[in-house]
Amino acid sequence: MKKIVTKFGGSSLADAGQFAKVKEILLMDEARQYVVPSAPGRRFKTDDKITDLLYKCHRQVENGEDFQETFDLIAARYMDIAEELGLTVDLGAALDEVNEKIAAGANADYCASRGEYLNGMLLADYMGWRFLDSATVIKFDAQGNLDAELTNKLMAEALADGVPTVVPGFFGSFMDGTVHTFSRGGSDITGAIVARAVNASVYENWTDVSGFLMADPRIVEDPREISMITYKELRELSYMGASVLHEDAMFPVHKAGIPTNIRNTNDPSHPGTIISLDAPFDAAHPSITGIAGRKGFSVVSVEKAMMNNELGFGRKVLAAFEDHGVSFEHLPTGIDTMCVVVSGAELAPVREKVLAQIVATTSPDTITVHDYMSVIATVGRGMVHNCGTAARLFSAMSKAGINVRMIDQGSSELSIIVGVDDADYESTIRAIYNAFVR
Ligand code: ASP
């Protein structure tokens, strides 16, 4: 039987009106049997997210300040929702318990997790569905890493009876039962875990946008929506800075071969974006899937004649970064040059030490550092089907008068990565977008 796991983000459950939309969506398809809620998000631009208020309570207790005013704001949000929806759940008792535990100095993770916990209680009551406390089924090891296999087993067992269930997002617990959260935005991961555990046909991630856009709308005016993307393409775009979905949410579903569908709670008839293992290439679609990038890189170029004859040269260069805790992002190389692209902010505090170590261990002819470089990835599974993609991309950049400082095309042919001055970041994205889409 078809099973759908849904996850609703904070803005989708920000007030009673949004809860009503969620209920309608859930009842629209009887395959939607499992739902993962976030905590109530912002109702308007200047509003507070419940999670932020819960962290604030924790900080106030830590600083010996009164947190009651902050807690009252939280309680009022939940009470309003419960009252407007006519719920019967004993929210007062649950709120009192949370209040007491925060006052007694509960840890930050416990405090923050109550946003999802309480919202899950409300949603379960509203739907007439079972509530499953995520702390009993999502398990972390002592280092705080998810124990994916144990979690999958516990979750699958808990949901094996097929009873429609609400599983609050964002948290689980250590082996001793102490509550632990994922990083911010982590309800996406909970949704993916549930989808894997019940072997869902699809993982629907409901938010307030109708899927992914081909480029950042703050840079490109009215960019096209992406109807289909593969997990690999999305991984490249997210790595380069595009964000809608928590990065770690892709792994459980990708591994299990379950597609993710990004949907809009405020526009439920819109099909959104489908992320799948193997999206077919659509010839009618632009040959690129998306463009994303980041600013603020530094490029360390090491030059030495005949470096290719020197066994271990690359390792020694990279060791200088590793020894100082700087991870490299890209590694374009020439015949006698090796360029290491790193985050400028990570390099800055240890720059002189890294350079001195490279000089000491490899005796290069020259070593130079260029700062303020942007890295932009043009991603598309369609690139392999089209010759001339690179020519089109670089001629668009040259027509726009943009100087290419670095080129890096992965052997997967899934993306072409270019480095440009930070000042050219926006115009590069626009030039590439216009060349392929407009
Ligand atoms: N409520 C948490 C946050 O604001 C987790 C989530 O919404 O996914 O980060």
User: pLDDT tens digit string along 101-119?
Assistant: 999 999 999 999 999 999 9
Place of tokens 């899937």: 289
Does ligand 1 come within 6 angstroms of the Cβ of 273? no
DSSP 387: T
CA of residue 174 to ligand 1 center, whole Å: 19
- For residues 425 and 419, what is the distance between their CA atoms, to the nearest angstrom? 9
Does any ligand 1 atom lie closer than 6 A to the CB of residue 37? no
Centre of ligand 1 from the C-alpha of residue 113, in Å: 9
Give residue-wise pLDDT tens across range 85-99: 999 999 999 999 999
Pocket test for ligand 1, best of 42, 117, 170 (most atoms within 8 A of CB): 170
Give the predicted TM-score (pTM) of the model.
0.89
Does the Cβ of 185 fall within 6 Å of ligand 1? yes
> pLDDT for 150-205, tens place per residue?
999 999 999 999 999 999 999 999 999 999 999 999 999 999 999 999 999 999 99
Question: 184: CA distance to ligand 1 center in Å?
Answer: 5
* Token pair of 184 as six digits: 């911010």
Report CA(187)–ligand 1 centroid distance (Å): 6
Rounded distance, CA 58 to CA 67, Å? 8
Mean pLDDT lowest among 56-70, 100-114, 344-358, 403-417: 403-417
pLDDT at position 282, please? 67
pLDDT tens readout for residues 232-267: 999 888 877 777 788 889 989 998 999 999 999 999
User: How much is the pLDDT for 236?
Assistant: 87
Residues recorded for the chain: 438
CA 41 to ligand 1 centroid distance, Å:
8
Share above pLDDT 90 across residues of the chain, in percent, rounded to a whole number: 84
168 lines ligand 1 (CB under 6 A): no
Question: pLDDT-based confidence at 142, cuts 50/70/90?
Answer: very high
Pocket test for ligand 1, best of 51, 55, 194 (most atoms within 8 A of CB): 51
Q: Average pLDDT of 27-56?
A: 97
Identity of the residue numbered 200: A
The rounded Å distance from CA 432 to ligand 1 centre is 34
Q: Which atom of ligand 1 is nearest to 38's Cα?
A: 7
Which pLDDT value is given to residue 283? Answer: 66
Question: Is the CB of residue 436 below 6 angstroms from any atom belonging to ligand 1?
Answer: no
Cβ–Cβ < 8 Å for 123, 19: yes
Nearest-angstrom CA–CA distance, 125 and 127: 6
Report the separation in Å between the CA atom of 170 and the middle of ligand 1, taken as the mean of its atom positions.
6
Q: Averaged over 60-71, what is the pLDDT?
A: 97
| Per-residue confidence band for 333, with pLDDT thresholds at 50, 70 and 90 | confident
Answer yes or no: is the C-beta of 286 below 6 A from any ligand 1 atom: no
- Residue 2: what pLDDT? 93
Higher pLDDT, 284 or 398: 398
Per-residue pLDDT for 384 more than 90? no
Average pLDDT estimate for 384-402? 88
pLDDT value, residue 349: 97
As a whole number, mean pLDDT of residues 357-385 equals 92
Contact 201, 2 (CB under 8 A): yes
Answer yes or no: is pLDDT of 411 > 70.
Answer: no
Is 412 in contact with 360 (CB distance < 8 Å)?
no
Name the more confident of 25 and 255. Answer: 25
Comparing CA positions, the residue from 378, 370, 373 lying closest to residue 409 is 378
For residues 388-402, give the mean pLDDT: 93
State the Cα–Cα distance between residues 214 and 217, nearest whole angstrom: 9
When pLDDT is averaged across residues 9-25 and rounded to a whole number, the result is 98
Averaged pLDDT of the chain: 94
What does the pLDDT read at residue 406?
87
CA 219 to chain CA centroid, Å, is: 20
Task: Find the 36 Cα to ligand 1 centroid distance in Å.
Answer: 12
pLDDT at 216 over 90: yes
pLDDT at 50 over 90: yes
Q: Is 119 in the pocket of ligand 1 (CB under 6 A)?
A: no
What pLDDT, on the 0 to 100 scale, is given for residue 385? Answer: 67
Q: What local confidence, expressed as pLDDT, does residue 364 receive?
A: 96
Distance 9 CA to ligand 1 centre (A): 8
Taking only the tens place, the pLDDT of each residue in 296-316 is 999 999 999 998 888 999 999
- Ligand 1 centroid vs 51 CA: distance in angstroms? 7
The stretch 30-35 carries a mean pLDDT of 98
Nearest CA among 318, 287, 251 for reference residue 393 = 287
276 Cβ partners below 8 Å, 6+ apart? Answer: 228, 229, 230, 231, 259, 260
The confidence band for 410, taking pLDDT boundaries of 50, 70 and 90, is low
Q: Does residue 184's CB lie within 6 angstroms of at least one atom of ligand 1?
A: yes
Closest ligand 1 atom to residue 49 Cα is 4
| Residue 186 Cα: closest atom of ligand 1 | 8
Residue nearest ligand 1's atom 6 by CA? 185
